Structures are given as structure tokens and as C-alpha cells.
């Protein structure tokens, strides 16, 4: 039987925990600009938030060994180099 995703504040508890753990591991790397929680940029998961790791260069993805999932929370990689204009 499929489990219903949690709603309300409980829906963000585990994603926040995963975000915090990945932030500690990855944010010291100059190729990582941000780790956040939000909608799936790939549009594959519509009923839950995902953890998004924003990296500056596509080549950094393999070196950083970013998992696709942590504790049941999907992790997505967003390649973008944000700059002030």
C-alpha cells in the first residue's frame, strides 16, 4: 500500500534535515552555490518538495558525488552560475 506524503509542517521536517546535512557537506566547495528545498525542477515529483543542490559547472556533478535520494527525500542537481547584474 502506498503511503500518503505528510502535509503541513511535518512535510518539511525530513527535507530540512537532508538539506542541512548536504549543506554541511557541500557548501565549502566553490562549485556549489546553494542547497535549498523546493519544487522538482525536472517536474517528476509533483506532490512533495525535493532538496536542490545548485552547482556552477556540470563537470562538478560527478566529483561531488551528490546522491539522488537521502532518507527517502529526492535530491536534484541544478546547474546554474548565479551572478549579480
pLDDT in tens, 34-61: 999 999 988 888 888 999 999 999 999 9
User: What gap in Å lies between CA 48 and CA 7, rounded to an integer?
Assistant: 9
Question: Residue 26 to residues 7, 46, 85: CA-CA distances in angstroms?
Answer: 28, 26, 26
Confidence check: pLDDT of 64 > 60: yes
User: What gap in Å lies between CA 3 and CA 15, rounded to an integer?
Assistant: 17
Closest to 8 in 3D by CA, of 44, 50, 49, 54: 49
Hey, what's the cell of 84? 549579480
Confidence check: pLDDT of 15 > 80: yes
Hey, what's the cell of 58? 556540470
> 1 versus 49: which is more confidently predicted?
49
Hey, what's the cell of 15? 527535507
Amino acid at each position: 500500500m502506498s503511503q500518503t506524503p505528510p502535509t503541513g509542517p511535518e512535510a518539511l521536517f525530513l527535507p530540512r534535515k537532508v538539506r542541512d546535512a548536504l549543506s554541511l557537506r557541500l557548501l565549502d566547495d566553490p562549485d556549489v552555490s546553494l542547497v535549498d528545498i523546493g519544487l522538482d525542477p525536472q517536474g517528476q515529483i509533483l506532490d512533495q518538495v525535493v532538496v536542490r543542490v545548485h552547482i556552477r559547472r556540470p563537470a562538478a556533478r560527478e566529483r561531488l558525488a551528490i546522491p539522488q535520494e537521502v532518507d527517502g527525500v529526492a535530491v536534484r542537481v541544478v546547474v546554474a552560475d548565479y551572478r549579480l547584474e
